[in-house]
Every structure is written in C-alpha cells, then in structure tokens.
Chains A and B, each alone.
Chain A
Amino acid sequence: MSNKAARNLFIFGSLFFFVIFLGLTYDTMGKLDGRAPEITEQINAGKMVWHKYDCIGCHTIFGNGSYFAPDLTKTTLNKPKSYLRQFLMDPKSANPNASMPKLGIRAEEADDLIAFLDWTSKVDTNGWPPKPILAAAGGVAGKELTEGQKVYQSHGCSACHTINGIGGTTGPDLTRVGAKHDRAWLVGHFKDPAAFVKNSAMPKVEAPETDIEKLTDYMLTLK
C-alpha cells in the first residue's frame, strides 16, 4: 500500500465511522425522552444543586463519576425521603459515622436534590445496577424465614441496618440489639423513633400492631 493510499484510508475511513456515529447519536437523542420521566423545573433545579456542590467529585451517578462514595442512581428507591433530607442537610445528625461532610445544603436545595435523584431512579438504565446473584444477599442462605424476619425484609430495614454483616451502614448495627433494649423501648421506638432518640433519622414503622410485635420478637432474639 502506498503512503497516499494509507492516508486516504485513514481520513475517509474516519469520516465514514464518524458519520455512522452521528446517525446513531441522532437516533438516540430521539429516543431518550421516552426512556425517562418528564423533567420538571424542580428536577432541573436539583440537577443544578448537584453541580453546584460537585457531588460527582465523591459519588457516581449512572455509574460515572468518583468512586469514593456510593452510586446514587437508585438511592430514592431504598431510602425514605425524610431520611435523605436530614442526611443531606447534616449527614452526621442522621448517621454519626457518616464521612460525607456537611456541605451547607439548604432545605429547599435538599428537596430539589431528592426530586432529581427520584428522576434518575426512574430512568431506564438497561437493568443497571444489576441485582446481586449470590444467596447471601437476601440474608436467607437457604433457611426458612421467621415471621419477624419476613416483616424486617418487607419493610426494607436492611437498607439501613446490618445484621451479621448483611445490610446497610446508615443506622446502627442490630446484630446484638436484643441485649441493648427491652420490649417496651423497642415497640415505642418503632412507633415514634424521635420520641426515644433525639433527632432520630429513622422513619416511623407504619405497620399493624401484630407486625410490630413480630418485629420486636425478632429483635429480642438478636443477642
């Protein structure tokens, strides 16, 4: 091949692939709005707050960004908004172990951010992040669940709490909680956490009396 032929291959080949790329880009732009909820003023305001505080400098969103802190694409699916609001404004008040700094986020900024994160959680991401595929994830590992464990699962307590190493790190570890509190405290705390712990970031457990009892029984076995 002559040098000139090689050069032409480079130039025209590159243009060829770039044109295809432009075509795909055009097609994609037409499809994006159908894959995500409509963007309201508040969602856009939340995105602006996201940029203002440089959240991407610690977190990822859609898996892109920095790997110092958890991905936030689907956060609002797992954590109640009241909790997120308190956390964003003052992380340590919600979780004394938090290492996210208090950035000075105001109340309405926190609401906007939550609206924005709610939007990202509803974008069709082709199934990312994937569901864990190993048994340990459910905390089941082949065993039959007790009544209390079922309530614990259905209320998503493990998004915030760890038992035997499994679950979230937002709230305290519950592996030995049965040795720490009595039945009355637990029942009362479930119904209104803030009445028992000042500034508690735990949401009230909205469940029928029988479920609260089952949950309390389960907690008391954790010693």
Chain B
Amino acid sequence: MSVKYQSQKIAEYFYTFAVVLFLVQVVVGIIAALQFIWPSFFILNFNTIRTLHINALVVWILTGLMGATYYVVPEESETELWSLPLAKLQFWATVVAITAVVLGYIWMGLSPQANSPIMGINPLNEGREYIEAPRWADVLIVISVLLFLFINFMTMLKTKKWTGIQGTLVGGLLVLALMYLPGMVYSKSMVKDQFWWWWVIHLWVEGAWEVIAGALLAFMLMKVVGAKREVVEKWMYIEVGFVMFTGILGTGHHYYWIGTPSYWLWVGGIFSSLEPVPLLFMVWDAFRTTREARNVENKAGLYYTVAHAIFNFVGAGLWGIIHTLPQINKWTHGTQITTAHGHLAFYGAYVLLVMAMIYITLPSIRGVKSFNASRAFQSFWWMTISMVFIVLTITGAGMVQVYMERLMGLDYVAVKANYNLWFWIIRAIFGVGFLIGVGIFVIDFFRLGKEPVPVVTAAPERA
C-alpha cells in the first residue's frame, strides 16, 4: 500500500522535525525537573530551560499537525497538492525560523543584556510564557502559517470536494492562525497583557486545536476501521460544536483573578465546567466506532487513536474540571495543580494525537502495508505509565502546596524546598522513564517500514 498522491509524502518532512523536537523537549524537561532539586544544576537558568521545554512542545505539535494536514487534504480532495515546491519551501523556512528563535533563547539565557529592547522591542525573547518568540519571529510564523493555509486552500479549490473533515480541519487551522494575532500587541497594562495572552493560549488549546483534533479523530476512525463518512462526520460536527460552545466562554476561567470584573467568575465557572462534555463524546465516539472492528491492519494506529480520545478526556476534562470552579481555583490557581493538568492535558490531547496520525499515515508514506507494531506498544506504555506517575506526583505536590502555602500561610520557598522535595525527586525519576519511551518511539519512527516484517506479526490480507 502506498500513498494515493505523491505529494502527500511531504508529511514525513514535518513529522521528522516534530519527532526530533519531541526528544529535545523531554530532555530539557528533565533538566528543568532537576533544577527544582538543584536550582543551579545547568549552565542555563530555569527560565531558559522551561522556555525551551514548552516552545519545543508547542512547535513540534504544530509541525506534526501541519504534516498531518498535508497528508489529509490531498486525500480528501482527491488530487495532488497545489504546489509541492512551495510546501517544501514552507517547511524549510519554518525550520530555519525555529532554529534561529532557539539560538536566540540560548543567547539570551547566557547573557540577558542581549535582550535589551531595540526600538521598544525585545530582540530575542518577548518574556511572555509560551509566546516568548520575538516579534520578528512572530511575523515569520504568521507568514509561514498563511502560506501553509494558502497551499491547502488552493488544493481544495482544485477539485472543490468540500468534505466535512477537511473543511473542519482547515477551519480550525484558520482560527488557530487568527488567534495568534492577539498575542502580538503590546499593552502597558499587565492586566490587558494577560487578558489577550489567554486569547492565544486558551482559545488555542481549548478551541482551535480541539476542533482540529475532532476532525483528525474522524479521519483516523475512517482510516483504521473503515468507519462510514456520513456517521463520523455528523458526530464530528456535534463534538467540535460543543467544544466551541463551552470553550469560547470557558476562557472566563482565566479571568477570575487577573484584575478583570467579577462577572467572569460566573461566566467562566459555568461554561468551563461544561468543557469536558464534548471530550466525553469523543471517547464514546471512538469506542462505539471501533468496538466491532475486525481484521484491523494497523493495530498501533487504532491503539493510539483510542488512547488519544481517552487521555484527552482524562487530562483536559477531568484534570481540568477539578480546578476550574472559582471557589476551588481561588486556592489552586498558579500552583503545581496547574502543572499536573498542563502535562496530562497536552500529553493526552495533542502528543497522542500527533503520534496516532504518524502511525496511521507513515506506513503508506513509506510504502508498506504492515509493520511490526511491538515498538509502538512498548513506547506507548513507557510513556503513558511514566506520564501518569509524573502527573500523580505533581498533583500530590500541588495538594501539599495548596494546603501549606495557601491554607496555612507557610512560605512558598519553605514548602518548595522542604515539604515537596521528594515529589521533585520522584518526578525526575519518572521523567527518565518517559524519555525511554520517547527513545523507543524515535527509533521506531526512523525504522518503520525499513526492516523486514516478521511473518507471524504480519496482518492477514483483508478479504
């Protein structure tokens, strides 16, 4: 089995870059974890390490999604990409821009004065979480994303087969691009700064990105178990619809304590506590569709798809709802509880999503019908068990922090350095377990389809 359209192979470029950044992300994550135990453990300070960790994360998820889109759109439109050379240019331009940004962070980490403003703009690091990339990089990122959207849109125009999946996918990507813009305006007020900052962060992960996830879930269910388009697309609309109905006003759960009026406690509390509902629909959808599937060729793809749906609900939905009501968030806001949720949500919703897409599309890109899935399962369990324990550990640290610092009034530093020390140690240990899982995945990514398949594990021909 091979790809239907040669230009779909461009996806592999993006996947490769994503996988390399994933490895970088987790290695620096472990350095960050060690700095909780020994603050001066590394030549770069914690802030630079953390910036690298979360930027690598966001960028690799985004490049992974771009690769997946370049695969899905030709397939849905039943035609080659509008311009393959332009897509390659977009890829290399992205790689160059990201590399420059990373070098800038490291330079700033080594000598902070290099980040002194030039004409009112910080040249290396904007000093705003997740969107640290400086203004010149913002412009390049916007150009790259616009080019990417343009190529896909022109491809769709070629045949005008407006399928629900690609419409929703590209629509989600368009909102993603638009929601980057509110993060590009400077505000003298820290309150307004954070207000618009959440438009980027929240409306990404709980809006546009979940819409993209819903569209890809529908695509994957069709691919791995041959589900009917009619049915998966209808459920997709319902899922992503409820994501938006709850998620847009759910932004209010970040407007409780930043200097905004108190009516946001009501708006945010009510709508955000409904946000897990569409995520539960997705779990149900995945189970219902795959339950009766027989002779599934791509077992790894199926596994990751269902795992994505489950952990999206657990990490974003459950670990989100526990601290989303204002009466609880008042105590947990800005503690390790937030970190625990951030990790499980990103892992379940987006790490597993991109990995599922890779396992579903890479075999045909490499031109193989089946592959040995044992490494895919091994890496899944190493990563998932480690992540669950990291999250439980950090949830424990968060509960201790909330109790001692927020309820008893003990000092932040005392709680961090004395009472929570063991939690930091355990997190670092499970971090190594997670790295092992990533290592297995990286090896699998580069070898998949390039080694002979042992006869016993080869899936039977489908009748």
Contacts and interface: CB of A to CB of B under 8 A. Distances in A.
Interface of A: 1, 3, 6-7, 9-10, 13-14, 17-18, 20-21, 24-25, 27-29, 31-33, 35-36, 39, 43-44, 47-48, 50-58, 60-71, 99, 101, 103-104, 116, 119-120, 123-134, 136-138, 162, 165-169
26 contacts: A3-B230, A6-B234, A10-B244, A13-B244, A14-B244, A18-B244, A21-B248, A21-B249, A43-B188, A54-B108, A55-B47, A56-B47, A56-B128, A57-B48, A58-B50, A61-B194, A63-B333, A64-B258, A66-B50, A120-B190, A125-B257, A125-B258, A126-B265, A132-B408, A136-B409, A137-B409
A184 to B, nearest CB: 30
Given A36-B189, A58-B46, A125-B257, A136 B408 contact: yes
A52 B112 contact: yes
Interface of B is mostly: helix
A13 B47 contact: no
Nearest to A25: B195
Nearest to B412: A70
B192 A50 contact: no
B248 A99 contact: no
B129 A65 contact: yes
Given A57-B46, A57-B50, A123-B191, A62 B413 contact: no
Contacts of B262: 126
Contact of B259 (A3, A62, A167): A62
A45 B188 CA distance: 9
Nearest to A73: B257
Nearest to B195: A28
A78 to B, nearest CB: 11
B389 interface: no
Given A52-B122, A58-B50, 4 more contacts: A14-B241, A43-B188, A50-B127, A132-B409
A68 B50 contact: yes
B259 A169 contact: no
B115 interface: yes
Interface stretch (B141-149, B334-342, B442-450): B334-342
A97 to B, nearest CB: 8
Nearest to B51: A57
Contacts of B108: 54
Q: Which of A7, A29, A119, A168 has the most CB of B within 10 A?
A: A7
A123 B192 CA distance: 12
A90 B410 CA distance: 25
Contacts of A103: 112
Interface in B67-123: 108, 112-113, 115-117, 120, 122
B230 to A, nearest CB: 7
Contacts of A35: 191, 259-261
Contacts of B259: 32, 35-36, 62, 123-125
B324 interface: no
B90 to A, nearest CB: 28
A62 B190 contact: yes
Contacts of B50: 57-58, 66, 68
Contact of A126 (B46, B234, B257): B257
Contact of B258 (A55, A62, A162, A166): A62
7 tightest CB-CB pairs across the interface, nearest first?
Answer: A57-B47, A137-B409, A51-B127, A132-B409, A63-B334, A128-B257, A99-B39
B347 to A, nearest CB: 18
Given A103-B112, A128-B257, A17 B244 contact: yes
B117 A101 contact: no
B132 interface: yes
Contacts of A133: 407
A39 B237 contact: no
